[in-house]
């Protein structure tokens, strides 16, 4: 990405809500149905902060009325098609399909749900995916059971099972009622907190010709990455500090017993070590340092992936297979902003490919190689410390049990009393530090990621079509995100300890 001048004002990422729709094909009084839909959409606009996006299929009847009214009110509309257009059109009369094509052309994004399988299954899957993607489901329903698989009643039943907020419009009277609206989240805590973070020192925005959506994501990624980087070393040092302080307290106590030191300051030294360890643990427990670090790191990596794939004309959301409930609004925001930017300013394939190779693949290769170069020696040293401490403890204990070595009093105190007590503690501490720094997993994963990225680099360099490039990039991003999610699971679990 080209360098650019500083920006003095932070650009917050917007929040998007999605209203999905399901309804009957036969609508007896369309004008009244449209009025009821308009009233429901107006209510949602007033009730929730952020921008609303309409989501539906484009079947004749309710779907068409909903999409047309949403567009007339200025809402972006995303189309979910149960089947590819060439196959979907066979379910329409010729004159109806002309209108459907015109409507699809106005969609901000079009997604096909089923490339194969039965038609009934495709319609059911389309309805279920509408429920999955929406925050609120708006339905035009006569109250009757579904007349076939994938009917409106089936969709409503699924939405109720998931606890989705519903706006139900009676297909006969057009009166509406709401269900489960207490479950509607009008704001997203994570996105709000991330937007409040200060910009990273020295962060630079994209060039003046860059889309504003790209500038916003770039700034966002820099500041959450800075917040994560600033928090991670402190967290690990604090955890390692508690281990070391406990070891010191044990060594002091063992020395006092072994050498018969009757020094008034000795208990106080031990007490200070234990109090300091407890203080560090309380700081970690009550300041939320761990949680904030994990949240910022995951948000930074999700945004980094969005930046790396900016300009890729992908057919499906980059994060479609990534299900982290607390980050769904962020992932939706990144996806919508990418859709809007790529529609206005498409990126040539060669430019995208070179940018992805240098800014993503090579950057990640360098990152994993650096991390491996740091983690591997650390793991080797701690392993050596564990084995040396363990073997020496065994030798000292065996010498004491067999009474093989005759030493002066101080030597016996050191060999027979102090070392057998202190060395196992040191060995346990080295294992704890390996766990704290997650060294075994990191070394193995760094080697694996290095191999994956080297292979991806060769494949991408050879690509000549968008389809092949898209597949390799999505597979590469999937591997990178999987590594982040594995890290997220491990570190989130560690927070509870």
For a pLDDT cut of 70, what percent of the chain falls above it? 88
371 vs 311, residue with greater confidence: 371
Helices 439-462 and 466-494 meet at what angle, rounded to 10? 170
Q: Which of 494, 424, 495, 439 is nearest to 247 (CA)?
A: 424
CB distance 172 to 142 below 8 Å: yes
d(C-alpha 416, C-alpha 426), whole Å: 16
pLDDT in tens, 415-458: 888 888 888 889 888 988 888 888 898 899 999 999 999 999 99
Q: Which of 299, 313, 321 is nearest to 341 (CA)?
A: 313
Domains and CATH numbers, the chain: 16-183 (3.40.50.450), 212-494 (no CATH)
Residue 365 has pLDDT above 90, yes or no: yes
Q: Binning pLDDT at 50, 70 and 90, where does residue 286 land?
A: low
Q: Which of 119-123, 249-253, 334-338, 342-346 has the lowest mean pLDDT?
A: 342-346
Distances from the Cα of 127 to the Cα of 19, 67, 123, 246, 329, angstroms: 13, 15, 6, 58, 21
Q: Which of 278, 239, 276 is nearest to 435 (CA)?
A: 239
Q: In terms of DSSP H, where are the helices of 309-359?
A: 328-344, 349-356
Residue 80 has pLDDT above 50, yes or no: yes
What does the pLDDT read at residue 321? 66
Q: Binning pLDDT at 50, 70 and 90, where does residue 7 land?
A: very low
Q: Which of 196-210, 231-245, 268-282 has the lowest mean pLDDT?
A: 196-210
Residue 244 has pLDDT above 70, yes or no: yes
- For 193-201, the CB contacts below 8 A with 24+ separation are 194/13, 194/220, 194/223, 194/224, 194/296, 194/299, 194/330, 195/10, 195/12, 195/13, 195/220, 197/223, 197/224, 197/227, 197/296, 198/10, 198/223, 199/7, 199/10, 199/223, 200/225, 200/226, 201/226
Tokens 């907020």 found at? 165
pLDDT in tens, 43-67: 999 876 789 999 999 998 999 999 9
3-state secondary structure of 109: strand
């Amino acid at each position: 990405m080209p360098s650019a001048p500083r920006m003095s004002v932070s650009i917050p990422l917007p929040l998007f809500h999605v209203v999905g729709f399901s309804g009957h094909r036969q609508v007896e009084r369309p004008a009244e149905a449209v009025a009821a839909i308009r009233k429901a959409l107006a209510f949602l606009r007033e009730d929730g902060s952020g921008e609303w996006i309409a989501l539906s299929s484009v079947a004749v009847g309710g779907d068409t009325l909903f999409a047309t009214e949403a567009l007339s009110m200025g809402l972006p509309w995303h189309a979910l098609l149960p089947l590819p257009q060439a196959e979907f059109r066979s379910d329409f009369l010729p004159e109806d399909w002309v209108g459907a094509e015109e409507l699809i052309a106005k969609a901000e994004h079009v997604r096909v749900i089923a490339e194969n399988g039965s038609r009934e299954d495709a319609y059911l899957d389309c309805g279920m995916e509408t429920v999955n993607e929406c925050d609120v489901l708006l339905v035009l329903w006569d109250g009757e059971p579904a007349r076939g698989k994938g009917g409106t009643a089936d969709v409503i039943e699924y939405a109720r099972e998931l606890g989705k907020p519903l706006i139900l419009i009676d297909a006969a009277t057009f009166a509406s009622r709401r269900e489960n609206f207490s479950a509607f989240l009008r704001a997203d805590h994570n996105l709000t907190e991330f937007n409040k973070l200060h910009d990273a020192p020295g962060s630079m925005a994209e060039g003046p010709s860059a889309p504003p959506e790209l500038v916003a994501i770039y700034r966002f990624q820099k500041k959450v990455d800075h917040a994560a980087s600033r928090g991670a070393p402190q967290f690990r040092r604090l955890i390692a500090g508690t281990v070391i302080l406990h070891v010191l307290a044990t060594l002091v106590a063992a020395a006092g017993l072994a050498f018969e030191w009757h020094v008034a300051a000795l208990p106080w030294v031990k007490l200070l070590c234990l109090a300091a360890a407890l203080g560090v643990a309380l700081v970690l427990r009550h300041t939320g340092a761990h949680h904030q670090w994990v949240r910022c790191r995951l948000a930074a990596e999700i945004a980094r992936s969005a930046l790396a794939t900016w300009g890729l004309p992908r057919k499906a959301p980059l994060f479609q297979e990534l299900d982290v409930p607390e980050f769904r609004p962020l992932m939706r925001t990144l996806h919508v902003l990418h859709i809007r930017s790529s529609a206005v300013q498409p990126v040539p394939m060669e430019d995208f490919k070179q940018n992805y190779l240098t800014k993503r693949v090579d950057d990640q290769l360098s990152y994993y190689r650096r991390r491996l170069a740091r983690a591997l020696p650390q793991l080797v040293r701690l392993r050596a410390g564990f084995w040396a401490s363990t073997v020496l403890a065994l030798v000292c204990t065996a010498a004491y049990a067999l009474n093989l070595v005759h030493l002066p009093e101080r030597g016996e105190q050191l060999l027979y009393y102090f070392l057998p007590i202190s060395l196992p503690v040191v060995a346990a501490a080295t294992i704890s530090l390996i766990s704290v720094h997650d060294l075994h997993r990191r070394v193995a994963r760094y080697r694996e990621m290095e191999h994956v990225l080297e292979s991806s680099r060769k494949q991408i360099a050879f690509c000549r079509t968008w389809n092949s490039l898209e597949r390799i990039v999505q597979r590469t991003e999937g591997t990178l995100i999987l590594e982040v999610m594995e890290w997220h699971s491990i570190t989130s679990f560690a927070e509870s300890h």
